[in-house]
Amino acid sequence: MNPLAHHRVAKMNGIGNRIVVLDLRGSGLSVSPDDARAVHAAKGLAFDQLMVIGERRSAQAEGFVEIFNNDGGRAGACGNGMRCVAYIAMRDGDRRRLMFETEAGLLECRREGDMTFRVDMGRPRLRWDEIPLRDPFFDTRGIELQIGPIDRPILHTPSAVNMGNPHAIFWVADPSAYDLERIGPMLENHPIFPDRANISLAHVIARDHIAMRVWERGVGVTLACGSAACAALVAAVRKGLTERVARVSLPGGDLTIEWRESDDHVLMTGPVELEFETTLDPAAFEGAAV
């Protein structure tokens, strides 16, 4: 029997971003890509991200959070998922602030309300080799990439940002006017992105408001993506399109994003919802590697 069988999990969402939180602190257990795919296939537990809380690796952190996309691939950051992790970690006490480790570094989480949390997503990485890009673009506010006819491209000149994951943001008049299901996989896997990329279609409504849709690397079209919202705000500020604080509207709801000038950190604030808690059915892991 898979050792994860019968372990308790929480099914949650952050403005529609489907999240499963699995707290393995104190268990000595870990999760493989096969395990993550098995959890995603289990009845009622389909997720965009699986957030696995493991033992801390530094004294100031509550734990180390490993993030899986539903294809079993790992993600460096997930803002909506980190808010869900913060809820699970803070719900049984009066703590208002916790630090967690991820592959993207230490992230501070603060409770702003009963079900509202703020995550410090750290500094954006803007250099072409940090994102990373295949080619040495020295101005990542707009890189040379387009799809469609060369004289009438469908999309072109995206901004590129790494917010724990690589992001490409295309600036458009209407994000809903494009078949993201069709163009998303093509762009995610474009050779210019050696680690693949999250693909966003964004429109600046006002200097304090961005609307966007996201094709998430390893997931597909999603109702929300916190790191993409952060990347879009950073890219908009760099292009002079918005102020440093803005509301970012995604199909699942709104986030408040701030790119703080004092330390270059990006802060994301938004709600979470606990849908239900259950235990992992042993049958979910039949056929998965142990």
- Please report the DSSP string for the chain in residue order: --TTTT-EEEEEEETTEEEEEEE-TTT-----HHHHHHHHHSTT---SEEEEEE--SSTT-S-EEEEEETTS-EES--HHHHHHHHHHHHTTS---EEEEEETTEEEEEEE-SSSEEEEE----B-STTTTT-SS--S-TTS-S-EES-TTS-SEE--EEEESSSEEEEEE-S-GGGS-HHHHHHHHHT-TT-TT--EEEEEEEEETTEEEEEEEETTTEEES--HHHHHHHHHHHHHTTSS-SEEEEEETTEEEEEEE-TTT--EEEEEE-EEEEEEE--GGGGTTS--
Q: What is the mean pLDDT of the chain?
A: 94
- Among the options 78, 84, 109, 230, which is catalytic? 78
Is 67's pLDDT higher than 60? yes
Is 95's pLDDT higher than 90? no
pTM: 0.92
Q: What pLDDT is attached to residue 168?
A: 98
- pLDDT mean over 139-161: 94
Distance CA 205, CA 210 (A): 6
CATH of domain 8-122+273-285: 3.10.310.10
Q: Residue 29 in contact with residue 280, Cβ under 8 Å?
A: no
Q: What pLDDT is attached to residue 1?
A: 84
The answer to whether domain 8-122+273-285 and domain 146-264 are alike in fold is yes
CA 224, 247, 76, 156 dihedral sign is positive
- pLDDT mean over 281-288: 81
- Among the options 84, 109, 225, 230, which is catalytic? 225
Is 175's pLDDT higher than 50? yes
Confidence of residue 257 (pLDDT cuts 50, 70, 90): very high
Is 245's pLDDT higher than 50? yes
Distance CA 101, CA 145 (A): 34
- pLDDT mean over 246-260: 97
More confident residue, 234 or 93: 234
- pLDDT mean over 61-83: 91
Q: Following CA atoms 204, 196, 18, 114 in sequence, which dihedral angle do they give, to the nearest 10 degrees?
A: -60
195-232 pLDDT, tens per residue? 999 999 999 999 999 999 999 998 999 999 999 999 99
How many percent of the chain have pLDDT more than 70? 99
Q: What pLDDT is attached to residue 52?
A: 97
Q: What pLDDT is attached to residue 75?
A: 86
Q: Residue 31 in contact with residue 7, Cβ under 8 Å?
A: no
What topology is assigned to 146-264 in CATH?
Diaminopimelate Epimerase; Chain A, domain 1 (3.10.310)
78 catalytic per annotation: yes
The ranges assigned to domains in the chain are: 8-122+273-285, 146-264
- Residues 251-256: contacts with CB under 8 Å, at least 24 apart: 251/16, 251/213, 251/223, 251/224, 252/13, 252/15, 252/16, 252/17, 252/222, 252/223, 252/224, 253/15, 253/16, 253/223, 253/224, 254/15, 255/15, 255/79, 255/224, 255/226, 255/229
Q: What pLDDT is attached to residue 288?
A: 57
Q: What pLDDT is attached to residue 66?
A: 95
Q: Residue 259 in contact with residue 244, Cβ under 8 Å?
A: yes
Confidence of residue 290 (pLDDT cuts 50, 70, 90): very low
109 catalytic per annotation: no
Distance CA 136, CA 128 (A): 6
Distance CA 70, CA 85 (A): 17
23-51 pLDDT, tens per residue? 999 999 999 999 999 999 999 999 999 99
Q: What pLDDT is attached to residue 202?
A: 98
How many percent of the chain have pLDDT more than 90? 83
More confident residue, 266 or 289: 266
Structure tokens at 166: 């690589």
